[in-house]
Structure 1
Amino acid sequence: MTDPPISPAATVLVVDDDADIRDLIIGQLRQENYRLLGVGSLTELRQTLREESVDLIVLDLNLPDGDGLSLCRELRAEGSAVQIIMVTARGSAIDRVLGLELGADDYLTKPFEPRELLVRIRNLLRRGRSEPVAPVEAMRYAHFGPWRLDLVQRRLVAPDERLVMLSSAEYRLLCRFIEEPNIVLAREALLPERRATAAFDRTIDLQISRLRQKLAVLPGGSELILTVRGEGYVLASAVDYS
């Protein structure tokens, strides 16, 4: 029995220069009743994003007019919160880490099981709709350690107003820590959508590592997220809002 789709209004953009693969993925997604778009290049992708509201991009890395990694970096630098699943024939750990580092929310290596892609898309869309949205005036910033987290623009702000962009996954992760500061959170609590496999899922480790590196650029930032061996992770800081 197929789980109900997140929303009939969810728009998924499939980006692959191979028309057969693109059509195959779109065909597999039709059962979910998403609004589906397909393009074959970065140029077409950028044009589509200017004209359409897109919830999630299935992004191939190797495109005829550029690398999908560069596009991912551009979108995050612009503050875009669109969900991104990178799909590529590159299978090395370095490529996976680089993709997550540049702002991808998930990563699949070809060939993959169609069902796995469906589940990952559904989970990302569900998470995107359940993320906390703060009232602009009532609660714009969360203050912790030397940092401010902008809850509207989803980015870190340093005391000198320097901005540090966060991927959607990094933002969600930091929000979980901020919701329960000074409390040890198990891996299952940080990745609830993968509760059954969280104990073995290394994605959370990559995301925390990248988040720590971004926080560590300010004095005291490297001591904010601590590992509690055998239990999980903790944000070792009080949190205030303004």
Structure 2
Amino acid sequence: MRLLLVEDSARLRELLTESVHQVGWRVDAVATSAAAQLAIKAVSYDLALVDLGLPDSDGLDVIRVLRRDGFAAPILVVTARGSIEDRVAALDAGADDYLVKPFNHLELLARSRALLRRRVPHNIEPIVVGVLSYDPGSGVVMASGAPLSIAPRERSVLALLLRNAGLVTPKPSIEAILSESGEDISTNAVELAISRLRRRLAPFNLPIRIETIRGIGYLLREKRTDC
């Protein structure tokens, strides 16, 4: 299971991430609405935990945008707002459940499991560029039919490049994907991620390349085979 946590409190992000990891789930923790929107474009999540008090947007707007953009997984609101009006507004915006802070982490996990059990399965089409494919549901990358082992951060970058195949992906967009883990990134983090991806793809001799567009970003496209 992979969760998206949208919470501006660094301490609470840390605590909730630790709780989720203890039950064997993966979690991507972000602090803003903008980061959440970028995350769902690159990864298929099974559940989202959303705070209502975010620095760049009200959490209700975040939920509405996620639903508008096709986010079909359950959304559990985790917030200090406890009024009936707030609960109704969140549910009407598209949330599936509501948990008021402070809460016990065991209850959070129990509510998460309940939402996951009720989730209606939906098919997510793999992203395919030539002989390279990425399945957002499972996170599996296939090269010429063979599974390709790639670290999570680089895999997220590859997913973004595949989605934008044939178009230039700006460097800031890649930086945003890399920073979603909550870790500080180095000044050359993007270059390192692209270099690792190229090394992982090279042994397969795929008719696909990642081009550097200097001063702008990177372009993934199929190599021309015209004679």
If the length of structure 2 is used for normalisation, what is the TM-score? 0.52
For residues 88 and 19 of structure 2, what CA distance do their matches in structure 1 show? 27
Residue 25 (structure 1) aligns with: 16
* CA–CA distance in structure 1, aligned partners of residues 62 and 121 of structure 2: 26
Distance 1:132 1:57 in 2: 16
The partner residue of 2:29 within 38, 41, 57 is 38
Q: Counterpart of 1:107 in 2: which secondary structure?
A: strand
Q: Helix, strand or coil: the match of 2:107?
A: helix
- Against the structure 1 CA distance between its residues 133 and 66, is the aligned structure 2 distance closer, same or farther, given a 3 Å change threshold? closer
Would you say the 8 A contact 2:74–2:95 is kept in 1? yes
- The one of 41, 49, 52 equivalent to 1:61 is 52
The answer to whether 1:124 aligns with 2:115 is yes
| Counterparts in 2 of 1:77 and 1:47: CA distance versus 1, 3 Å | closer
Q: 1:132 to 1:51 in 2, by over 3 A?
A: closer
**Structure 1 residue 76: Cα displacement:** 2.1
C-alpha separation in 2, matches of 1:82 and 1:32: 19
Q: What is the aligned partner in structure 2 of residue 11 from structure 1?
A: 2
The one-character-per-residue Cα deviations of 1:11-67 (angstroms, maximum 9, x if unpaired) are 111111111001101111112111111011111111111111111111001111001
- Number of equivalences: 123
Shift of 1:133: 6.3
**1:48 aligns to 2:47 (yes or no):** no
Cα distance in 2 for residues equivalent to 1:78 and 1:41 = 17
The answer for the alignment partner of 1:111 in structure 2 is 102
Q: How far is 1:75 from its partner?
A: 2.1
Residue by residue over 1:192-218, the C-alpha shift from the partner in whole angstroms, topping out at 9 and shown as x without a partner, is xxxxxxxxxxxxxxxxxxxxxxxxxxx
Corresponding residue of 1:100: 91
Name the counterpart of 1:173. Answer: none
Q: Distance in 2 between matches of 1:116 and 1:58?
A: 13
**CA deviation vs aligned residue, 1:162-206 (integer Å, no higher than 9, x gap):** xxxxxxxxxxxxxxxxxxxxxxxxxxxxxxxxxxxxxxxxxxxxx
**Residue pairs, 1:182-193, within 5 angstroms:** none
Q: Which residue of the partner structure matches residue 62 of structure 2?
A: 71
Q: Which amino acid aligns with 1:87?
A: V
- 1:91 matched to 2:82? The reply is yes
Which ranges in structure 1 are unaligned for 5 or more consecutive residues? Answer: 1-9, 135-242
| Aligned Cα root-mean-square deviation (Å) | 1.6
SS in 2 for 1:54: coil
TM-aligned CA deviation for residue 132 of structure 1: 6.5
CA distance in 1, matches of 2:19, 2:25: 11
For the 8 Å contact 2:20–2:26, the answer to whether it is kept is no
After superposition, give the CA deviation of every residue in 1:208-229 in whole Å (9 maximum; x if it has no partner).
xxxxxxxxxxxxxxxxxxxxxx
Instruction: Could you tell me which runs of 5 or more consecutive residues in structure 2 were left unpaired when the two chains were aligned.
Output: 124-227
Task: Please state how far the C-alpha of 1:78 moved relative to its aligned partner.
Answer: 3.3
- The residue identity in structure 1 corresponding to 2:109 is L
